[in-house]
Homo-oligomer: A and B are copies of this chain.
């Protein structure tokens, strides 16, 4: 199995994970600012949970993947500080409660920490790649959101996704249904996350 095959096999679900009216509205500038704030708050919660999950992934990763995982953790911690600066600029309270859709995704991440490493790495690659691909559909971004779109599509993030993809392909060589299943859940939760940010509603 390869990352390419996973995406090809689940083309429809992957498309839904990476294309959404939310992203279109970021591109054309029609997005309700309240929706954007909602995304920031819930994405911050997600980033905290991902940092934590990455700590546990690293704790039983093979020697060869420690560098990419340590870089990922560093990048996430820098991302948290960036979220905090942006929230302060926009007057947003990041302590707002976790939305049920975000909770389901965050708890799924925590649950993967009990899964085999190949499942964890597949999930990590899939979620980072979906995020990058999604934001790329919003390029160049309307003026109000341009710096965000640029931040979430910047070359160093893209390079990290590529490195994760190479690592994921190494574990996927011997992988099977559990990894495919993780890929599907990540795609599903990415899609739900955009929808939650867009509408404020669950499901």
Say whether B110 contacts A111, CB under 8 Å.
yes
A175: interface (CB < 8 Å) = no
Q: Which of B55, B63, B70, B100 contacts A59 (CB 8 A)?
A: B55
Q: Which of A55, A57, A71, A80 has the most CB of B within 10 A?
A: A55
A104: interface (CB < 8 Å) = yes
Which A residues are closer than 8 A to B by beta carbons? 48, 51-60, 63, 66-67, 70-71, 73-74, 77, 80-81, 100, 103-104, 106-108, 110-111, 113-114, 185, 188, 202-203
Chain B residues whose C-beta falls within 8 Å of the C-beta of A202 in the assembled complex: 203
Among residues of B, the one whose C-beta sits closest to the C-beta of A110 is B111
Chain B residues whose C-beta falls within 8 Å of the C-beta of A111 in the assembled complex: 106-107, 110-111
- Known contacts A106-B111, A107-B108, A202-B203; is A59 also within 8 Å of B53 by CB? yes
Bound: A111/B105 CA distance, A: 11
A194 vs chain B, min Cβ distance (A): 16
- Known contacts A66-B80, A108-B103, A203-B202; is A51 also within 8 Å of B58 by CB? yes
- Known contacts A104-B103, A104-B107, A111-B111; is A58 also within 8 Å of B73 by CB? yes
Say whether A51 contacts B77, CB under 8 Å.
no
Q: Which of B60, B67, B103, B188 contacts A52 (CB 8 A)?
A: B60
Q: Which of A60, A111, A188 has the most CB of B within 10 A?
A: A111
